[in-house]
Amino acid sequence: MSVPPPFDRHGPELPASPIVLSVPHAGRDYPLPLRAALRVPLHSLLPLEDRHADTLALAARGSETMLVATRPRAWIDLNRAEHERDHRIDEGAEPVPEAAQSLKLRSGLGLIPRRAGGAELWRRRFAAEEVRARIEQDHRPYHAAVADALAAARARFGVAVLIDVHSMPPLGVGAARLVIGDRFGRSSAARFVARIEGVAHAARVRSALNTPYAGGHVLKRHADPAGNIHAIQLEFDRSLYLDRRRDQPGPGLEETARLLRAIIDAVADEALPLADAAQ
């Protein structure tokens, strides 16, 4: 019996747009092995979720190809590289000097997150085979699907742009409510970022570039601006579209979906001259 993929794919086989959407951190399918290994209540994992970022992206999506992970970030973090394994909880991880670890790994946010909201999550270490199975069954298939979607979009339009949709807790009074990440110019041409900044400005939504979120493994792995594959991370303040408890979609969902839709349209418009030239 075939095992269903750990993600939902939306959109036609032949891409209808050069834009590909990715939502890697909104999964809410918490499997029994995960729940059995917890040393904290299940709700303690909520800070790891981009809560209902998939609902936001689906509300904004038109005909674009979109990949939505169904497994939770606590199970495996698709925005971390396969080697970012934490030897404190992963028996298959090689001990790495702290100075050589990424900041995320040092803080307990590696491929398998060790901490959430300041709390240690797991009652035991995971066997090497367990982590390897998650990589093979969840991590690799998701990234293969993203890569295939981008390759198909570039083949049809001559250019592809990945918009990786995330959410963030409020950064504070007067702070940005949308953070745009392009890995400090390494994952996307500046013209796409400029169009997103223009949309945010027109909507009177304060934005910031790369601070405090510049983009992670998804952008690093899939972006190839020289090869006409661009990738941009968007972090939406959860208070824009969730209720006061930051739990369920709130009254701002429709307006925030319109903002994301306008961003998608602007990026597609910027890409289309290249697409026309390629045809």
Q: Is residue 217 part of a domain?
A: yes
pLDDT for residue 97: 84
| pTM reported for the whole predicted model | 0.95
* Nearby residues of 143 by Cβ (< 8 Å), 6 or more positions away: 78, 218, 221, 222
Q: Is residue 102 part of a domain?
A: no
Bridge partners of residue 231, in order along the sequence: 162
- Count of beta carbons in the 10 Å neighbourhood of residue 31: 11
Residue 50 lies in a domain: yes
Please check whether residue 94 lies inside any domain of the structure.
no
Q: What is the pLDDT of residue 102?
A: 86
Write down the pLDDT at residue 275. Answer: 57
pLDDT of amino acid 74: 98
User: What is the C-alpha to C-alpha distance for residues 175 and 110, in angstroms, rounded to an integer?
Assistant: 27
Whether 93 is in a domain gets the answer: no
Is 111 within the bounds of a domain? no
CATH number of domain containing 186: 3.40.630.40
Residue 17 resides in a domain: yes
34 token code pair: 């995960």
Q: Is residue 117 part of a domain?
A: no
178, two tokens: 């949308």
pLDDT of residue 100: 82
Domains in the chain: how many in total?
1
Query: What range does the domain containing 263 cover?
Result: 7-75+135-278
Q: Write b or e for each residue in 194-216: b if 16 or more Cβ atoms lie within 10 A of its Cβ, otherwise e.
A: ebbbebbeebebebbbbeebbbb
Chunked into runs of 10 residues, the chain (279 residues) has average pLDDT values of 82 96 97 96 96 98 98 98 95 87 91 94 97 97 98 98 98 96 98 98 98 97 98 98 96 98 98 66
Predicted pLDDT at 128: 97
